Structure 1
Amino acid sequence: MKKILVPLDFSETSENAFVYAVELAKLFKAELVLLHTFDLPIVDSQAMPLNYATLYDTIELTNLDHFKEELPKLRAIAEAHKAEHIVMNHIMMDGELVYNIKKVIKQEKADFVVMGTKGASGWLDSFIGTNTSSVISDVSVPVLSVPSEAKFTKIETIAFTTRFRQKDIKALEDVVKMAKKLKAKVKCLYVQTPSSDVTDETVKRWESHFEDEDNIQFFVLPSEHVKTTIEDFLVNQEVDMLSMLTYKRNFFVELFTTTTTQKLSQSLKTPILALHE
């Protein structure tokens, strides 16, 4: 982890995610790339015969001034977390959020994204549905999504959900490697439904593969309700971060947009690290 991209809209939600980014940058000795995007209006020339260049320049300058005003606040947050030494690069772009995230990842060679999310309203509306799939699936690097309710504490327990597919092994190896840096433990969870085809031999083979790692535990929990079981696991095991592969993106969306139970409300406080197949 050398460069962490942090999309910011200067809300409390994005500033909360910035705290996580600062702590990770401090630990991994990484740089931060702060991205602020804004939309230029689509103007009907017949309804509003203005000088388009002047209009766009005014909007851009307004956003630039706002950006400059907010930077000292971000610096103060970094200083409060004893991270004033971290290199921060600032980028302001007009256009669609997800497109700009992809563009900056490529341009800056960012290898990690930390972004805030806020349930079914607010900033999440800008990339809900198909755009969420783009952020999680199409972006080429891991994405740590931090709910507005999450408050940073030392990351001591990382959960990893698996279906014991072969492709999960590399992702779990990456999580274990990250956990070592964080001095955290990894709890690998498989929810075994009545239709599950995972054998005891498969589970034992995985345990054997990771037998030299002393910071990992495997949990196989029988249940018909996968999502609820994961939510309960997050609470009962006091999980500080949930990691999963992108094929679980539908669950990811539900986790941030469903608020029908108290336990789900609790799980909303857990940052989610989306990895890639």
Structure 2
Amino acid sequence: MKKILFPTDFSEAATNAFVHALEFAKIVNAELILLHTFEIPVYDSQFFPENYASIYSSIELAKFEMFKDEIPKLRAIAAARKLDDIAIKHRLMDGDLIFNLKNAIEEDKIDFVIMGTSGVSDWTKFFTGSNTSSVISGVKVPVLCVPADAKFKKIKTIAFTTRYREKDKEELRKVLVIARKMNAKVKSLYVRTSNSDVSDATIKEWEYEFADDNVEFLVLPSDEVKDTILDFILYKDIDVLTTITHKKSFFESIFDSSFTKKITKEVSIPVLVMHET
């Protein structure tokens, strides 16, 4: 059985992403591990010589009580969607989110991470912010990023952006495995700019190699890469956008402020981040 790590702060964005996590867990036959982290503020013990320890104890207790109160709400969501048979475990950890997340991935042998964004107005901050950037760059498992207003719906079409590098094939195969479980089609997109070095022979080679898979390869000539991707998402009815991290973050190059405003106004879909090997 696969394992999905779901970091949550119990916000509306996280609760929305929890629905996606539940449905995804059902599709891939996985168990969910909920991770909630909190940081204890640092106090100077010379100012709190007697009750130093009790301050920490009270904070930990308060966090535990909040955690304990929130879990039944999530279980109620699972029950309402008739997904209460999905195994759900819990982790409450103090300390840095990224540090704890990486430890949880290693200790629990996690296969996927699913996490919510903080809302439409924060896409730029989310995708280029320190937390998400650290998760995406520091975690070696696929990460599904779910915008706060992306309501779950049956996934029929998954977009896969590629540069036709040899190493992209392995990630495409992983996406195709997921797509088969969802009975979804994969549409592979390459935006060919005027200085592109990808040959027609390479594209033909890919088409031949994946001829037996439910994948369609599209090459769109344009020097307006961002607008072309947006149009592709809009007019091809894309349900999930898949991208592979490179040395320069996809999000740093694609989700700049002007593009973010446009994409969040017109479309809001989950983004599946794969990692180059």
For 1:239, the equivalent position in structure 2 comes to 238
Identical aligned residues as a percent = 53
Q: Deviations over 1:6-46 (max 9, x none)?
A: 00100000011110110011122211000001110011335
Equivalent AA in structure 2 for residue 171 of structure 1: E
For 1:10, the equivalent position in structure 2 comes to 10
Aligned counterparts of 2:147 and 2:252: Cα–Cα separation in 1: 12
Q: CA deviation at 1:53?
A: 1.4
Asked if 2 retains the 8 angstrom alpha-carbon contact of 1:189 and 1:221, the reply is yes
SS at match of 2:205: helix
For 2:167, the equivalent position in structure 1 comes to 167
Task: State the Cα RMSD in Å.
Answer: 2.4
TM-score by length of 1: 0.92
Q: CA deviation at 1:274?
A: 0.6
How many residues are aligned here? 276
- Deviates most, 56-65 or 123-132: 123-132
In the alignment, structure 1 residue 83 sits paired with structure 2 residue 99: no
Cα 1:274–1:260 shift into 2, 3 Å: closer
Cα 1:122–1:192 shift into 2, 3 Å: closer
Aligned counterparts of 1:65 and 1:41: Cα–Cα separation in 2: 18
For 1:45, the equivalent position in structure 2 comes to 45
For 1:220, the equivalent position in structure 2 comes to 219
- Deviates most, 33-42 or 265-274: 265-274
Aligned counterparts of 1:65 and 1:256: Cα–Cα separation in 2: 38
Aligned counterparts of 2:100 and 2:206: Cα–Cα separation in 1: 39
For 2:187, the equivalent position in structure 1 comes to 187
Equivalent AA in structure 1 for residue 195 of structure 2: S
Equivalent AA in structure 2 for residue 235 of structure 1: L
For 1:198, the equivalent position in structure 2 comes to 198
Q: CA deviation at 1:72?
A: 1.0
SS at match of 1:166: coil
Aligned counterparts of 1:123 and 1:74: Cα–Cα separation in 2: 25
Alignment of 1:22-61 (within 5 A): 22-49=22-49, 51-61=51-61
For 1:116, the equivalent position in structure 2 comes to 116
Asked if 2 retains the 8 angstrom alpha-carbon contact of 1:246 and 1:275, the reply is yes
For 1:270, the equivalent position in structure 2 comes to 269
Asked if 2 retains the 8 angstrom alpha-carbon contact of 1:188 and 1:216, the reply is yes
Structure 1: any 5+ residue segments left out of the alignment? none
Aligned counterparts of 2:234 and 2:162: Cα–Cα separation in 1: 18
TM-score by length of 2: 0.92
- Deviates most, 261-270 or 101-110: 261-270
Cα 1:90–1:257 shift into 2, 3 Å: farther
Structure 2: any 5+ residue segments left out of the alignment? none
